[in-house]
Amino acid sequence: MKTRDRILATALTLFNEQGEVHTTALDLADELDMSPGNLYYHFKGKDPIIESLFERFEAQISETLAAPIEAPLGADESIENNWYYLFVLLEDMHDYRFLYDNLTDLIHRYPTVERGFKRILKLKRAAFFALCNQLIPDSLPAREQQLSAVADNLSQTATFWFSFEQLVHPRRSAELTIHRGVLQLLTMIAPYLGDAQQSFYRDCEAVFESLQKQA
């Protein structure tokens, strides 16, 4: 692994485990067993490291978010397929969870990160709209407005899910936290499914219970 990539990988681990605000460039150099001067040769301080990590995160999550927009699932697709997609999305977010742990402060300090998060949020809303459009029946009154509202609610829940879980269940495993988040997101759609609501919710619960046993 190239030195630059090793620095970014180590920084991501420390930021996720200790918090970006509590991790200094010296901490990072110590963890890498390199001199501060060597670290500075590759990155002129912590700021460009954060911006480089965010660039990688945006590229990764944007590709995931684009999937249901570019190739929507059919209405007859299984709950498992929707579950897998949302799991991958939340997994992407968990891989870079330090960005969400201190989001308000981070976007105030880094204008490039703020602009990037706005792009991600716009794409996230579009992805959830596409998902709702596939699942929610055409007969729903004021469907377009309802879909937009549900997409906003899903986007908000997904964005702050890990912060919520850390407060409520700090010792829960990452895998179970992600699966629990997927269940929360899918069951937020259930009230808009009319006659299929209960069946959809039961299917979601069944998938969660099965995966919970494996976690």
The per-residue pLDDT of the chain, averaged, comes to: 90
User: Which amino acid, 41?
Assistant: Y
Give CA–CA dist 2/99, Å, rounded.
Answer: 24
Please answer whether residues 61 and 94 qualify as being in contact, where contact means their C-beta atoms are separated by less than 8 angstroms. no
Residue 157: burial class (beta carbons within 10 Å; 0-12, 13-18, 19+): middle
Q: Return the pLDDT at 77.
A: 63
pLDDT digits (tens, 9 = 90+) for 102-114: 899 999 999 999 9
User: Which CATH architecture group holds 54-214?
Assistant: Orthogonal Bundle (1.10)
Buried b (16+ CB within 10 A) or exposed e, 96-129: bbbbbbbbeebbeebeebeebbeebbebbbbbbb
Dihedral over Cα of 168, 135, 82, 64: its sign: negative
CATH of 1-44, one of 1.10.10.410, 2.60.40.150, 3.20.20.140, 1.10.10.60: 1.10.10.60
Which residues in the chain are classed under CATH 1.10.357.10? 54-214
Q: Return the pLDDT at 92.
A: 97
pLDDT digits (tens, 9 = 90+) for 34-49: 999 999 999 988 999 9
